[in-house]
Structure 1
Amino acid sequence: MAGFRDFLTRFRPAASPGRAAPGGVPGDRSAELRAELAPPLALLEQAEAEARTVRERAADTAASRRQEAERQAEAIVAEAHEEARRIRAGAAEQVLRATEGEAAALHAAAEREAAAVRDRARSRTSPLADRVLALVLEDLAAEEGSPPEPAPQGARGSGRCWEGDP
């Protein structure tokens, strides 16, 4: 679109007043402007091309850095998972050792208690066996009508071996 100045130049006289001159053609101002602006516009196009190249290189660099960062992040996450696995295994090992120690202590306490029960049973079995033998002999004697024979004082259950006796 032509500017206002171009519009006014159409009405400029082609020659000075006076005798008639041959018909003149007004000058092409837009062609003059184009010729004047062609070198700076060419430089601008060159600058745009350079900017486009710089943007493309920057986008490529950003993409490669992003990929490298993702790879590093994956490596860090994998290392963290491995470290967590090692920590869990160590914690499980500690719990297992503690549990084994506790189980050994409980087993030893149970063995001591069982030995104490066996000792009490041994100490109580002989007098109880003697009492049972005396009662059985009394019952047998009462059925037969004869007086019961007293059980010998050092004898344990008429010579029989009882479980738990040494």
Structure 2
Amino acid sequence: MAGFRDFLMRFRPAGSPGRAAPGGVPSDRSAQLSAELQPPLALLEQAEAEARTVRERAARRAEQLRTEAAHQAEEIIAQARTRARDVRAEAADRVRRAAETEAAELLTAAERDAAGVRHRAGTRMPALVDRVAALATEELVQAGTAVQGPRGEPGGRGPG
């Protein structure tokens, strides 16, 4: 890179001020500027090429990561679906066992209630049978009296 003195020389006219000097070759400013800027521009081009390479490498890596993430997501979804089937089966089994337990408890309670009803029926039945028999006998006796009549004649007609 050019030093400070070279920097100041850019602003120097082709000849020194003052008395007339022998004819000189005017300085080629564009060549000087080009020569001065050539190394930094070359470094800049190199940096741009490196940046382009880094961006391309990063884009390839990002695409690779996206692809890997998509595959990983598919695997997770497949595992979740498989696990969901297992969880549903476990839940259904748990509910079925609970329903079977409840049904067994209800059946036991119903059998207990039925046994209690049978026991009460067994203890009450003789008294009820006796009562029904007495009522039936009373009805038959009353019906028989009505058929024979007051004098014991058939048809229930008296003297007439």
The residue correspondences of 1:66-145 to structure 2 (distance < 5 A) are 66-145=66-145
Q: Using the TM superposition, give the Cα deviation of residue 112 of structure 1 relative to its aligned residue in structure 2, in angstroms.
A: 2.7
Matches of 1:39 and 1:116 in 2, distance apart?
A: 111
Q: Which residue of 2 aligns with 1:41?
A: 41
Percent identity, aligned pairs only? 56
Match of 1:12 among 16, 38, 46: 16
Question: Which structure ranks higher in relative contact order (CA pairs < 8 Å, sequence separation ≥ 6)?
Answer: 1
AA at the equivalent of 1:114: A
Q: Return the letter of the residue paired with 1:83.
A: R
Kindly tell me the number of residue pairs found equivalent between the two proteins: 139
Bigger helix fraction: 2
Rate the CA distance shift 1:28–1:135 in 2: closer, same or farther, 3 A: same
Amino acid in the other structure paired with 1:109: A
Moved beyond 6 Å, runs of 4+:
none
Does the 8 Å contact 2:10/2:29 carry over to 1?
yes
How far apart, in 1, do the equivalents of 2:80 and 2:134 lie?
Answer: 79
- TM-score normalised by L of structure 1: 0.65
TM-score by length of 2: 0.67
Cα-Cα RMSD: 3.0
Unaligned runs of 5+ in 1: 147-166
- Consecutive unaligned residues in structure 2, runs of 5 or more: 1-6, 147-160
